[in-house]
A and B are shown apart, each in its own frame.
Chain A
Amino acid sequence: MEDEAFTDISGKPISLDCQSHSSFCKEFTVSSPKVSMGKVMVYTCSVWLSAYVVFFFTQNTAVLSSAIIITLVGMMLHIHFVKVDHESLLLIGSLGIQVSSSYASGREITTFIEMSKIKDIVISEAVYMHQIIYYLCVLLKDPSEPNTVSSVVPLFQSSKPRLNCLVKVYKSCQEILSKCQ
């Protein structure tokens, strides 16, 4: 378990956890920063304050109850669909790669890519708004055409770690892929 101080592209601290289950099976988990209580308080207070102001003018209690409902529903939707808690990459030599992201509410989305479809794992650059960032991606190939790249699957899309973290993951992945592909 190694825990250097890694950050994501906006400078927020993230943590990387590498678990080596065997010489050809490794799991990497990148955890995003948790929901900050300050932000939650700010949003809730602003919504309720504006609701009170509207209530002051209209004297309609439906405004207040709708503000409460909106806040609750908004928070539930946010933690279920938007807020990613951690993303993990499980690399099993000669079987495949499993990419999964789990949300703050516990929901997990998992995809498994078989080894016959994987061409390589590389670090690539991309233009993202006003920055150029590095990201780790899996190059897929069609088994009938082994020399062309059929599609690209980017990894760690929500946590967006920086290059030092990516290089660590890349090196371990390449060790296994070179042995077991």
Chain B
Amino acid sequence: MVLKIFFPQCCNRAESGLLVGRWISGHDSAVVLAVIHYPFIPGQVKQYIQQMQAQSGVELSVLGAWSLPKEGQEGMERFLRDLSTVFPQERWLQVSRQMGKMGFTCKVVYRDQSKTLRLDDEEKVIFVHYEQRKVMLSQLHPIESRDPDPKTEAPSELRQVFQTVARSQPLFFLDRYDDGPLKSTHWQSEGREASIIVELLKQASVPLCVLISWLPNPVSSVLMCRIFSLYPLRFLSSKLSTCIQISYRTEHMRTLSSPKPAAGHTQFMRKANILVSFLVDVALGVLLMSWLYRDNHITMLANMLVPAADHVAKELDELLQWLMGVPAGLKMNRALDQVLGRFFLYHIHLWISYIHLMSPFIEGILWYGGLSACLGLTFALSLLSDMVALLTFHIYCFYVYGARLYCLKIYGLSSLWRLFRGKKWNVLRQRVDSCSYDVDQLFIGTLLFTILLFLLPTTALYYLVFTLLRLVVVLFQGVLHLSVDFINSFPLFAVGLRVCRPYRLAEGVKFRVLCDEPGTALHLLMEINPLKGSTVVQTYRTPTYSCYPRDSWAALVKKLFVGELIYPWRHKSTKTD
């Protein structure tokens, strides 16, 4: 069997001493975590290792001896060889390296002398060199849950290596430059400095979390108030996207503000993503505000709004006049045409007078509404979407009237068509059965059928026109909701991590052959293979009330044809509803 030794790159030039690490059971491999230098007292080493094992939960042990002989240390090799009796192990590794040569030599000593490896079996050892700091900080994907399920088998070899290095953090606190009884070499010995900004931020985060947790409490207590559970207000608040967005952000704040540190990689990434997207949101909102409140843009917008509404009303007027005449060369039924046309014209007249009534207040509304952008661009966009919904309410009403009328007509026609052919819908059996009608039933039925059939083009045309208008509005609202959704759910922190520190999110590893002199062990370099960009976004997307089409194209067309009311965008239900 081939023995695999995972050796950290920082220990390549370490002075002679003992190898500390872990044997991975079932896979014939060992992970070297640190080298403890000579001089040391074996009793102290054993005590230290037991202490580290208790703190980290990793089964540490002394794996063997490492010798890099310098001048004046000739007796070292024999001394290290004799240590195998002091630390009783099943297998004792003797790894040695000559200065100036690339390859290591390794000899394995078994406890029962009969199984010592012969010299020509030296080739059956692989040294896999890994960069300790990167492997320690990296997270292997797909992420497996922490709880060890006794039914599943042990994780794979690479996963165990990564877990071992990540959990051995207590081992890396003491260094060879510290004044302790033991001097060890690991990644800290390379002199890697920590960033003082990160440390300051970590210290400042606890009081900040307490502050954040205090802030949404009044808001959420107001929202949870009994009044809002009453039917009309609850229905309204579930329809207005601003309220949905507020409840959403409150939930986010609650996630962020727990003072405990994150319990695991997924939790940490979620918190970080929420924080970063919230900050970006607020920054974009402030940018929007700075544009809006400068150079009287608000007054300009308010002055544009009323003439725009007037223009829309005029266009609708003209459209209805066109429909009431001879639209596209089709001959309408005069009476029905006039009734429907006048009905809709009156609605438009009402709406225009309402807009004119509101016109002095529009600037004020815009001014205060623009202030909401300081909470984030998503708020401004959801407010805009709600305002559009309110302002185009008349189009929605027209659509509903037209659709209902058309739907009734279609059902009536289909039922009377069955009567015309002498059949009937059997409700009990849910199928079409033949039926013998009386003469007067047939007579009235045929009459009604003819009437409905000849009135069909008129109703169909009104329905078509108002459905198209409604679809335009729905499309615009859909675009706004999609962009709000995108800002909410896009994992900016994870993408930034993938760009700046690609080793933290690992999809796997890559190997490169370092040196293969015949007669020595094989040396491989293990590098981290970072996760693909699309996988990062998919894994770390914050779950939102995502806005996606409810029906497929075929179902949508069928609904349009039959006259059912369509609500094309579906929201996944939130927990507060």
Contacts and interface: CB of A to CB of B under 8 A. Distances in A.
> Do these two chains really belong together in a complex?
yes
B522 A114 contact: no
Contacts of B28: 94
Interface residues of B, number: 23
A22 B4 contact: no
Contact of A27 (B2, B508, B513): B513
A90 B153 contact: no
B433 interface: no
A92 B4 CA distance: 11
B511 A90 contact: yes
Interface residues of A, number: 22
Contacts of B511: 90, 92, 95, 98, 112
Interface string A82-104: 00000000101111001010000
A111 interface: yes
A98 B153 contact: no
A165 interface: no
B141 to A, nearest CB: 13
Contacts of B157: 114, 116
A92 B524 contact: yes
Contact of B152 (A22, A27, A90, A144): A144
A111 B28 CA distance: 23
**Which of A22, A23, A24, A94 has the most chain B CB within a 10 Å cutoff?**
A22
Contacts of A22: 123, 516, 518, 522
A94 B529 contact: no
Nearest to B521: A22
Nearest to A23: B123
Interface string B116-155: 0000000110101000000000000000000000001100
A94 B4 contact: yes
A79 interface: no
Contacts of A116: 156-157
Interface of B: 1-2, 4, 28, 123-124, 126, 128, 152-153, 156-158, 508-511, 513, 516, 518, 522, 524, 529
Interface of A: 21-25, 27, 90, 92-95, 98, 100, 110-112, 114, 116-117, 143-144, 180
29 contacts: A21-B513, A22-B516, A22-B522, A23-B123, A24-B2, A24-B124, A25-B126, A25-B513, A25-B522, A27-B513, A90-B511, A92-B522, A93-B2, A94-B2, A95-B511, A98-B510, A110-B510, A110-B529, A111-B508, A111-B529, A112-B508, A112-B509, A112-B510, A112-B529, A114-B156, A114-B157, A114-B158, A143-B156, A144-B153
Given A21-B513, A92-B524, A180-B1, 8 more contacts: A24-B2, A92-B126, A93-B2, A94-B2, A95-B126, A110-B529, A114-B157, A180-B2
